Structure 1
Amino acid sequence: MHPPITGTAAGVPFTALPPAGEGPAPLVVSWHMLDAPRSDAAFAAALPMNDLPAWRVHLGMPMCGARMVDGSTDAVLELVRKDPLMSFLYPFVRQATEEFPAALAAIRAQLPVDDGPIGVLGGSLGGAVALRILADTETPVFAGAVVNAAIRMRSVVDLFPGDYPYDTESEKAVDSLDFVTEAGTIAGRAPLLVVSGELDHPALRADAFDLVEALGERSELLSIPGLAHPLAEEPGIEPAPQLPLAREVDAGLTAWFRRHLTGP
């Protein structure tokens, strides 16, 4: 097993895990959670997919990992306090999506990945990024997967204390991140694995079921008994030993992407 490769791609920090073989290989790109594991390096340790014959390149979300302000999450928490939707959730997903094309080009320039369709993977808020790549871009994708994902951003906003004061702008923003309504587009782009912990937030779990139902035969649900929302222990910034429940998720993701790499 090769050691991780770290670097930046068009300003986006990444942790890359090479496949065992030599020569160009397919690429799977991920976006991590904002819960633990909350950095690209920690997400790579939680879900390494070591048996997958593909490059796994885990991208850093805005203001996380190497992009933390003053080496802490305090700046992110301040954005949450200011406005959880318009200062935090929506702009993070938007930035991660907008910076991806240049990051992908830089990854292909730096690493021996092939030029075919990619796999996309996202956890929690990173799941919204992966879904937005499927719903709103033309990047060729051979398969996607999300884990305890932010499928309807309105459900995520409801997890924060108090009643959120929606206005015209924030209503438009939150509705643009409702991927159940985008199921037709997503189904036409790539097959999707939806991983849901049985102990995840009930609203997020309900959204996972709704998305799978809306996608129909182009999706599968992988339900993980005993799994809550996080995939790693706090603080979740540095790489840590893989937890047993994360190992179950990892095995499911590896089987899913391997199946679609080799075809039916």
Structure 2
Amino acid sequence: MVSPITGTAAGVPFTALPPADGGPAPLIVTWHMLDAPRSDAAFASALPMNDVPAWRVHLGMPMCGARMVGGSMDAGLELLRKDPLMAALYPIVRQAVEEFPAALESIRAQLPVDDGPIGVLGGSLGAAVALRILVGTDVPVFAGAVVNGAIRLRSVIALFGDYPYDAESEEVVDSLDFVAEADAIAGRAPLLVVSGELDHPGLRADALQLVDALGDRSELLSIPGLAHPLADEPGIEPAPQLPLAREVDAGLTAWFRRHLAGAR
């Protein structure tokens, strides 16, 4: 396989995997999980999609990987303990979305990717970024995919226990409810929803509801035995692909290959 290319795009760390010939090709952009794999390099190892004839550029999420405060997870964990929604998860998603247009422009300046529609993929919290790119920007997208996605941020916050919502946090959490945005998603691109059968029950329910709401613009790939993570802890450095991640990778590969063929 061609070696990964690492760098930064408008300040955003990335790990890029070239197509087999290393030449000009379409672009798929991904955003990783906060669970393992929790960095762009680790996500690239877990879901490389090596047989997709496209550049796969895995972006680092804010406060993760190379952008961890003080080089460790401690500061991020403290923010999650302090206020998981307003101090951690929402700022991460908001920053990742805001920095994407400049990062995309920089990727296109650095790598031989074409200027046509892109693919987007997000895992866990990264799914909220990918879905927000779909419903909140005009970047052309030929297909999207989410894996164990944060489809309703309210369901993610529930994993932290009772949360003291107020008017501002209610507005924020409702802005990241993508079942409510199903019509907008359906109007933008077909979406593959990958859901582990052992994922958190709330996230699993949201995945099924989103597929139902999207109708024929979506497909569900249900993975028996898959819980929420896609890699072993600590999930920061590249690691061998786990068998269940290989199943996810195969499904993503087939999905993006099919829609790339239709987009050309």
TM-score, normalisation: structure 2: 0.99
Aligned ranges 1:40-189 → 2 under 5 Å: 40-161=40-161, 163-189=162-188
State the partner residue of 1:220. Answer: 219
Structure-1 separation of matches of 2:70 and 2:77: 13
Structure-1 separation of matches of 2:221 and 2:175: 26
Which residue identity is paired with 1:100? F
Structure-2 separation of matches of 1:93 and 1:31: 10
Structure-2 separation of matches of 1:87 and 1:141: 30
Contact 2:2 2:22 in 1 (8 A): no
Structure-2 separation of matches of 1:211 and 1:185: 12
- CA distances 1:226-258 after superposition (whole Å, capped 9, x unpaired): 000000000000000000000000000000000
Structure-2 separation of matches of 1:182 and 1:138: 15
Structure-2 separation of matches of 1:153 and 1:189: 21
Structure-2 separation of matches of 1:140 and 1:240: 32
SS at match of 2:254: helix
Q: Which runs of 5+ in 2 are unaligned?
A: none
Shift of 1:70: 1.8
SS at match of 2:71: coil
SS at match of 1:155: helix
Shift of 1:22: 4.6
State the partner residue of 2:27. Answer: 27
State the partner residue of 1:231. Answer: 230
Which residue identity is paired with 1:123? G
- CA distances 1:82-139 after superposition (whole Å, capped 9, x unpaired): 1000011111100000000000000000000000000000000000000000011100
SS at match of 1:14: strand
Which residue identity is paired with 2:98? E
Aligned ranges 1:244-263 → 2 under 5 Å: 244-263=243-262
Q: Which runs of 5+ in 1 are unaligned?
A: none
Structure-2 separation of matches of 1:22 and 1:81: 43
How many residue pairs get matched? 263
- CA distances 1:182-203 after superposition (whole Å, capped 9, x unpaired): 0000000000000000000000
Contact 2:195 2:223 in 1 (8 A): yes
SS at match of 1:263: helix
SS at match of 2:120: strand
State the partner residue of 2:194. Answer: 195
- CA distances 1:195-230 after superposition (whole Å, capped 9, x unpaired): 000000000000000000000100000000000000
**Which 4+ residue blocks in structure 1 deviate beyond 4 angstroms?**
none
Q: Percent identity?
A: 84
Aligned ranges 1:2-21 → 2 under 5 Å: 2-21=2-21
Contact 2:42 2:238 in 1 (8 A): yes
TM-score, normalisation: structure 1: 0.99
Which residue identity is paired with 2:58? H
Deviates most, 32-41 or 61-70: 61-70
Matched, 1:38 2:18: no
SS at match of 1:99: helix
Structure-2 separation of matches of 1:71 and 1:177: 29
State the partner residue of 1:204. Answer: 203
Structure-2 separation of matches of 1:22 and 1:213: 38
